Chain A
């Protein structure tokens, strides 16, 4: 399974402490532009930026150059993720961003939100149910209530 992650998803999955588990079960890719966006967090010592950097350095997450330019409403990271999805023929893009997902919907690109990524890890037994629920709890303040609730229900509730 090949997944392209945008910066929003990388940060949330790192904060949920499941980014490493995800790379064990899936081939994860970031565009160079997304990698740079995530690493910007190092300036203010955000832990997720260091976690992502370590996984990229260990080549558990592949960082790939793609040439693209930003157009109205989306950032360079999102455009480059879409480009990368097509270049490597990935299975899905992982993102929670409403504007970006609208574009993917229109273009028929498969996508998955960060909470479903955690559910996938739980249901495929890469994480135990309690580990998956704990991961969801860690990003609860960052996601919509419906999104959190739907994910916990898919895992069989708390």
Chain B
């Protein structure tokens, strides 16, 4: 993933937490802050998919990850991605038509 410099003021407490994470993960503080930012972004993107604002394919492109990884992430966070009740109803109609065709 490409990075760009971005001016940002960060609460001191978050820097303290990032320092702790940096120690635990054997990394530097800037990397730890980026990791925390990424974790928050992943969770937010899941909610964008869940509410139908972006597709799972677009989310995978934005996060530079695979759809399988997004499925795993959704499972981890207990987020169930899927259609609206109306979409389910329409899917059922299609299934019935295809079933007739198959028989």
B is a partner of A: yes
Interface residues of B in 62-84 (CB under 8 A from A): 66-69, 71, 74-75, 80-84
| A46 & B58 in contact (Cβ 8 Å cutoff) | no
Note all chain A residues with C-beta closer than 8 A to B92. 116, 150, 154
**CA gap between A76 and B58 in the complex, in Å:** 7
Note all chain A residues with C-beta closer than 8 A to B71. 11-12, 142
Q: Is the interface of A mostly helix, strand, loop or mixed?
A: helix
Partner of A100, one of B55, B75, B91: B55
Q: Is the interface of B mostly helix, strand, loop or mixed?
A: helix
**CA gap between A152 and B101 in the complex, in Å:** 22
Q: Does B14 contact A (CB under 8 A)?
A: no
| B101 & A75 in contact (Cβ 8 Å cutoff) | no
Q: Which of B2-10, B35-43, B46-54 faces chain A?
A: B46-54
**CA gap between A7 and B61 in the complex, in Å:** 13
Note all chain A residues with C-beta closer than 8 A to B98. 1, 91-92, 112, 120
**Chain B: CB-nearest residue to A47:** B68
Chain B residues packing against A (C-beta within 8 Å): 49-61, 66-69, 71, 74-75, 80-88, 90-92, 94-95, 97-99, 101-103
